[in-house]
Structure 1
């Protein structure tokens, strides 16, 4: 099983990858170059770069699978969230749809997998934490900016970036429609999950650890719930609603690290009758230190590398038995 696609090959309907090794194992995948136009990169954060470079060799090299090119993220000493204009700009940020055909298929896909490989340079210093790329989606342009405490149109967007914390502890840092069901499910995931003051959820804190000088493969699977009806009453996404949720089939979010499932959240309502067109739109490819304040800032100038961008449209008519075997 390829860690970029940690599901049975029979579930993959179509997809793409920038990894030649992955393309050779799954004939349905389109092999594409690591370029902005091909991957549908847009809304790039100003004053940051994501140059394609030859990454340094990892501490333990695997020539057959190690990327030979990657996007480089540079974090100057003292850099924080790019929104903090008093600190050096670090990391990068943009949205990524994938190749044109794949982006078109996303509009109607109910289950999607997106993945990448990340390597923090040898000698990396974690400080308090920082953000990593993850799936985003929603209804049209409402899908953008679904973070940072946003309160408007929260029924119409979701954002599933990851975070690193002290000592390389990983977590899913998720913004999902605000309703009691999602809050209950998100905060129930071990080893620890909490709702943050900015309304995002830290899910599965410490469920895995990143290691400097090593390529780590991150994959996210999302299954959109089917939309039911709520007898003509107010939108389910309203934070005051907690009835009639049984009318909605279960949505899911799953995180895989190096092919191993580390976080799986079921029973979610990711769209309702006010947002029936909500769907996965791609990856929010963002990374920075923070938080917003100086205690989050990068303690030294350092670099991280991102490669093997991949995605798949998945077959959803699978049994619970098959899912448990992933």
Structure 2
């Protein structure tokens, strides 16, 4: 009987010692950031950080979801197709076609001709910011006739960004590119200082040639409200071709850069801008970062 009592005492002391050690170990562990849910349960607090960069090479069939394409103000999806890159430089490209005699939707409806190109706004899953850097590649088809000009993607913020709707400093801006006659390039910006339509910035600073790839990089830094100290910088194949630091984008710091204004078409507001034959532009490897 005395032997059994001794065994029970030893076992009990070991149990007490083990519990004490576990308690000490638990008190030395890292603290857990937690909060109490509406139901009274303790839950770990989510630790998330807003993304500082974004990129896409059209690898996924549902690429529009990654771009966070808005449902409004988009058109021309029938002219956009992701294909294997026939040049072999990239895995996949977004090919945008411009049928013969095609122009913008407004002119097409009026004149009974095809709509060429396409357009959409993309938020990219990034928070609005005061500065962004956009990068992408493009190639005009070998038979591309630049005619009088057309639009190419850029950045945007707010709602008044195109179509002759001049922003007032609080409600929008955009920094698309344009090709002009003979392939001359420019930034085509909608600003509160614009007159009737967009502002042509440094036209002819570079020149596109059909059939070859170009790397476009555009950096936009918004001005301090009320001051003309906003910046637009542009590089083509690594060479800086535009450097403007006197731009007025806004009169309030509530207006931010929101994402990509993917916009490309011939025009122009009449048939004199229309493409004389079927042509296309291939786009590849889009990315956005915060400088």
TM-score range, shorter chain: 0.7 to 0.9
The answer to whether structure 1 residue 268 and structure 2 residue 247 are counterparts is yes
CA distance in 2, matches of 1:130, 1:151: 19
In structure 2, the residue matched to 1:169 is 184
Show CA shifts across 1:248-294 (max 9, x none). Answer: 4721111111111111111223222xx32111011110100010211
CA RMSD of aligned residues (A): 2.4
SS at match of 2:269: coil
CA distance in 1, matches of 2:181, 2:174: 22
Aligned length: 236
Equivalent residue runs for 1:52-201 within 5 Å = 52-57=82-87, 66-84=89-107, 85=109, 86-98=112-124, 100=125, 103-104=126-127, 107=128, 109-137=129-157, 143-151=158-166, 153-178=168-193, 198-201=196-199
Contact 1:51 1:72 (C-alpha < 8 Å) held by counterparts:
yes
- Return the TM-score normalized by structure 2: 0.74
Deviation at 1:32, TM superposition (A): 8.5
CA distance in 2, matches of 1:251, 1:54: 39
Q: Which has the higher contact order (CA 8 A, sep 6+)?
A: 1
Q: 2:201 aligns with which of 187, 190, 203?
A: 203
Show CA shifts across 1:132-171 (max 9, x none). Answer: 111111xxxxx23422221464532111111111111111
Equivalent residue runs for 1:249-268 within 5 Å = 250-268=229-247
In structure 1, the residue matched to 2:67 is 39
In structure 2, the residue matched to 1:219 is 217
In structure 2, the residue matched to 1:50 is 80
CA distance in 1, matches of 2:243, 2:254: 24
Q: 1:293 aligns with which of 270, 276, 279?
A: 270
Unaligned runs of at least 5 residues, structure 2: 1-50
CA distance in 2, matches of 1:89, 1:169: 23
Equivalent residue runs for 1:7-26 within 5 Å = 14-18=52-56
Unaligned runs of at least 5 residues, structure 1: 1-12, 21-30, 58-62, 138-142, 179-194, 228-235, 237-247, 315-326
Contact 2:83 2:93 (C-alpha < 8 Å) held by counterparts:
yes
Show CA shifts across 1:287-321 (max 9, x none). Answer: 0001021110011011111110101011xxxxxxx
SS at match of 1:295: helix
Summarize the Cα distance change of 1:225–1:212 in structure 2 as closer, same or farther, 3 Å threshold: same
SS at match of 2:276: coil
Summarize the Cα distance change of 1:153–1:261 in structure 2 as closer, same or farther, 3 Å threshold: same
CA distance in 2, matches of 1:34, 1:161: 25
SS at match of 2:272: helix
CA distance in 2, matches of 1:118, 1:110: 26
- Larger of the two Rg values belongs to structure: 2
Show CA shifts across 1:11-32 (max 9, x none). Answer: xx93122359xxxxxxxxxx98
Contact 1:131 1:288 (C-alpha < 8 Å) held by counterparts:
yes
CA distance in 1, matches of 2:224, 2:270: 40
Contact 2:166 2:191 (C-alpha < 8 Å) held by counterparts:
no
Summarize the Cα distance change of 1:76–1:145 in structure 2 as closer, same or farther, 3 Å threshold: farther
